[in-house]
Amino acid sequence: MSILQTIDGFQFSPVQTSVINNASSTVALGLSAAKLSETVDYSGHKVVSVLPKSEESLQMLESFERKGLITYWNKPSGLNRLASIQISAGNFELISNILAEQALSPTILIDNIQELIEKQKSEIRQRQIQNANSKAFDFENFHVYSELVAFMEEMAANNSLVTYSVIGQSYEGRDIGQVAVRTGSPGVKQIIFLECGVHAREWITESTCIWIFDQLASGYGVDPEITALVDKYDWIIVPTSNPDGYEFTWASDRLWRKNRALTDNPVCPGVDLNRNYDANFGGDGSSPLACSETYHGVSAFSESEARAIRDSLAENRGFVKAFVSVHSYGGIWMSPYGYVTELPLEYDEMYRVMAIGAEAITATYGTPFDYANEAAILCKTNCFFEWNYKDLTSGTTRDYAYVGENIIYAYTIETRGKIYGFVPPPSEILVTAIETWNGIKAMANNLL
Ligand SMILES: [Zn+2]
């Protein structure tokens, strides 16, 4: 179907997501809208990098995004800062011409998203076939949620350091699983808490956190650094805090971001869980519109998935020394606040530790990694880019960990991955996990 829209004097077809196996009545309205039960096909969709050099260019991108003509894969964090945007096949020529006229220097990063998705699927299948006779968990492949849960349960059954618990249920009734790695009883040592898989399409965060979990559980008594880190801290990991969204990305829409809750708009389910926390809920950088990728939900903690993390943090109140929300992608380590440009009182200390973490990531394979507080993007030293644009976010898990639970070391890590975006091949898992873990270890070794 083709509904023409007129935007700023230009005519566009809406962002098209055709739907495979659609025998009945699916209506493809836009990137956020065409998320029903069938498989969404991204044939011809491209990811383009742009370089905004003026406020006007940034505003134009914002306007395109608000109108559903583009989807950000990586939001522009400032002037002269590369951003990545997804454009449908139908809009590509016109939008790329406008971007070129505005001196945004559009460069194609991914020519056909569906091809990348198919390639990823095929590589996953190949590894599954190769490992069909092995009972060992394949850390270098992606796994559906039930396999992640089975692995956590198996580790808990066979490793005395590991406890598996269910901290809540998702909207569709899936257990939200959490593992703890600890040598003694809970409530004695301080805790390092990792939350992963908040955004459904960010599969490499699940893979990274499951690998880190195994490093901790299997490395104790073997690796001296890990032994010391488990002796000093209890580790709590929630590998998938959005299981419904994650399952939906396997079954129907590889690029789904939010959870799967129904909203007041029947064609636009899903709340952005990383906008649903009680930390300036509903403020800048979140949307009241159900079809938005950053829809904040009807109220703070309206979503059971966010409540599960909130309650787990509350249960461990007073013990959580550091909280890290692992996302992909972008190559940046961020601290509070996301919603105001003022710096937190403890910013110098937050900054000191995230600098150590980010630099440990870079030291691993040379991956460029920035670090800054999210809202003001005040990168002080060793900055890869000069940022001066406010990229606000409200209602995030990280800011709640800080303002709601007083956890000073509250961070978001956006892992590497600029080439493949949200659809990396399995061969990216191990390098991402290793460098991210090096960053988190460096953080843990330097907490005051
Ligand atoms: Zn994310």
pLDDT digits (tens, 9 = 90+) for 284-317: 889 999 999 999 999 999 999 999 999 999 999 9
Burial of 67 per CB tally in 10 Å (0-12, 13-18, 19+): middle
**Residues with catalytic annotation?**
414
pLDDT for residue 389: 43
Distance 195 CA to ligand 1 centre (A): 11
pTM of the model: 0.90
What CATH number does the domain located at 136-444 have?
A: 3.40.630.10
Contact 380, 354 (CB under 8 A): no
Reply yes or no on whether the pLDDT at 261 is more than 80: yes
Tell me if 91 sits within 8 A of 7, measured CB to CB: no
Beta-carbon contacts of 230 under 8 Å, excluding residues fewer than 6 positions away, are 161, 181, 182, 183, 216, 220
Residue 339 · residue 279 · CB < 8 Å: yes
Distance 328 CA to ligand 1 centre (A): 6
Compute, in angstroms, the gap from residue 174 CA to the centroid of ligand 1.
20
Segments of the chain assigned to CATH 3.30.70.340? 5-111
Q: What is the mean pLDDT of the chain?
A: 88
Whole-number Å distance, alpha carbon 198 to ligand 1 midpoint, is: 6
Average pLDDT (216-234) is: 98
> What is the Cα–Cα distance from 439 to 421, expressed in whole angstroms?
20
* Parts of the chain belonging to CATH 3.40.630.10: 136-444
Give Cβ neighbours of residue 221 (< 8 Å, ≥ 6 apart): 227
Is the CB of residue 233 less than 8 Å from the CB of residue 175? no
419 alpha carbon – ligand 1 mean position (Å): 17
Residue 240: C-alpha distances to residues 27, 154, 386 (Å): 30, 17, 33
Residues 328, 332, 336, 338: is their CA dihedral positive or negative?
negative
Is the pLDDT at 38 greater than 60? The verdict is: yes
Residues with CB under 5 Å of ion ligand 1 are 199, 327
Q: Name beta bridge partners: 235.
A: 181, 192
The correct CATH number of 5-111 out of 3.30.70.340, 3.60.140.10, 3.40.50.2000, 2.40.40.20 is: 3.30.70.340
pLDDT in tens, 10-21: 343 434 344 433
